[in-house]
Structure 1
Amino acid sequence: MSTTTPRVASPSRVTSRTTGRLLAGAMLAAPLFVGVAATQVLARDGFDLTRHPLSLLSTGPGGWVQIANFVLTGLLVIGFAVGLRRMRRSGRAGTWGPILFGVLGVGLVAAGVFVADPGLGFPPGTPEVTEPTWHGTAHNIAALLATDPATIGCVVLARRFSRDGERRWAVASVAMAVAVLLVGWWPDPGSISIRLAVVVTLLLGYVSLVAAKLRREMAPR
């Protein structure tokens, strides 16, 4: 009578598979967020991106869609931060990179959990909020704190790419940080809703692209 010993995956292989899945999820962060948000911008009556920030899509009937969009995208970005840590353990990129992008993920989750206050005539028929609610204030704080750290994170990764001889990725990372700063801090209050949407799109696009790069590095050669 023979016995068969079941095969047990080694911890390193399990960790590698988990890292690959985290990075694969992060690759979907930008397409998911932009796709869901764009669909709502077109479908929600009374919404005008030139006047209304995307956060207002979380309010009113159907607001749960954007709430879920914020939360799920944030979780994917947190997964990216974990995957980045596992792939780049040494140096500042292995420490500060995951922290800074992790803040972006946490900020997106918080932006979904703490729903923005209605305003600027959206949803239609909703009275204007005279005093911000606690959750509206928390939403605004989360949104403000999320993007700037991730912008610094682009610069941190640029230094690592440069050190590793990956010049194109280093230049692209610096260019991304500059673009986000220019768009986000452009002195035109009238375009703030569009500019905020562009900033989030740029940062999530960067996350998805870097996640794809790191996942390719895991492929057997």
Structure 2
Amino acid sequence: MSTVQLPTASTSTTAPAAAARTAGTRTLLACAVVAAPLWAVVSLTQALCREGFDLTRHPLSALGNGSLGWLQIANFLLAGLLTVLGATGLRRVMRGTPGGTWAPRLVRVFGLGMIAAGVFVMDPADGFPVGTPAGPPATLSPGGYGHMAAGSIAFTALIAACYVLGRHFSRAGRRGPAVASRVAGTALLLGNGWAMSGGPDGTVTLAVGVITAMLWVSVVAARARRSA
């Protein structure tokens, strides 16, 4: 006589719980996927449209000043929050793998740095907003110092995260993503270094480096989301 095996309480509850956790992880990863494109599009659109702004002279952070400065402030805060949430998703999918501890941590630090960069606004400088004297500000405000500190921490964390991701993919035998991770980290390292040294068009190299590294984290999150 055949018997019908009924699901036990553990098996009947484990599957929905696992499905809910997977859905939650995918949602968190989606936050990381959209963070970089959102920040880049909003920043570059303003760079093209805001009167007096010149990307060859002004960093994208300067957009936090002026009557429309709230747009860039909100951009920093929202993208930072999305990045922090996305880091939790990366931690879930990378747990137990090489770099699986530090890559998400560093991405989270970067997100927190973006939030801080939105709270502490860069001082007006070099003719932006319109009416600001040419050249750097005579003195930095507390907010200006805070923005510089937040940027330094955020950039360092993002560069390190890219290199840790490079190690993660190398150990997994994925040469293409490993190279791309290191290229993204190096783009930000060199772009930021050139800008800090006062090199010509340093604000452009910084913008390129930041956006490249941020977009790569979004790509990594998108790939993880597909396999989650």
Q: Under a length normalisation based on structure 1, what TM-score does the superposition of the two structures give?
A: 0.89
Deviation at 1:42, TM superposition (A): 1.4
1:159 aligns with 2:167: yes
Q: How does 1:14-33 map to 2 (within 5 A)?
A: 14-33=20-39
Q: Which residue of 1 aligns with 2:138?
A: 130
Any conservation in 2 of the 1:22–1:79 contact (CA below 8 Å)? yes
3-state secondary structure, aligned to 1:116: coil
Quote the Cα distance in structure 2 between the aligned partners of 1:30 and 1:200. Answer: 9
**After superposition, where does 1:1-221 map in structure 2 within 5 Å?**
10-126=16-132, 129-186=137-194, 188-218=198-228
Partner Cα separation in structure 2 for residue 11 and residue 166 of structure 1: 31
- Partners of 1:174 and 1:104 in 2: CA distance: 17
1:198 is displaced (CA, Å) by: 1.2
Kindly report the root-mean-square deviation, in angstroms, between the aligned alpha carbons of the 2 structures.
Answer: 1.9
- 160 and 129 in structure 1: CA distance in 2 versus 1, 3 angstrom threshold: closer
Q: Distance in 2 between matches of 1:126 and 1:188?
A: 20
Preserved contact between residue 46 and residue 122 of structure 1 (Cα < 8 Å): yes
Give the TM-score normalised by structure 2: 0.86
Tell me the distance in 1 between the aligned counterparts of 2:30 and 2:40: 17
In structure 2, give the amino acid aligned to 1:103. V
Alpha-carbon contact 1:117-1:129 (below 8 Å) kept: yes
CA deviation after TM superposition for structure 1 residue 92, in Å: 4.6
Letter in 2 for 1:102: R
* Bigger mean CA offset, 62-71 vs 88-97: 88-97
Give, in whole Å, the separation in 2 of the partners of 1:173 and 1:103: 18
Q: Residues 2-57 of structure 1, C-alpha deviation per residue, up to 9 Å, x if partnerless? A: xxxxx988433222111101111211122211111111111111111111111110
Aligned pair in 2 of structure 1 residues 165, 92: CA closer, same or farther (>3 Å)? closer
Are the aligned partners of 1:59 and 1:123 in contact in 2 as well (CA < 8 Å)? yes
Structure whose alpha-carbon radius of gyration is higher: 2
User: How far apart are the structure 1 equivalents of 2:138 and 2:26?
Assistant: 47
Secondary structure, in 3 states, of the residue corresponding to 2:55? coil
Unaligned runs of 5+ in 1: 1-6
How many equivalent pairs are there?
212
Contact kept in structure 2, 1:77 and 1:207, CA below 8 Å: no
Equivalent residues of 2:169, 2:175 under 8 A apart: yes
Please say if residues 80 and 207 of structure 1, whose CA atoms lie closer than 8 Å, have aligned partners that are also in contact.
Answer: no
The runs of at least 4 aligned residues of structure 1 exceeding 4 Å deviation read: none
User: What is the match of residue 6 of structure 2?
Assistant: none
Amino acid corresponding to residue 133 of structure 1 in structure 2: S
Q: Could you tell me the percent identity over the aligned residues?
A: 46
After alignment, is 103-112 or 179-188 more displaced?
179-188
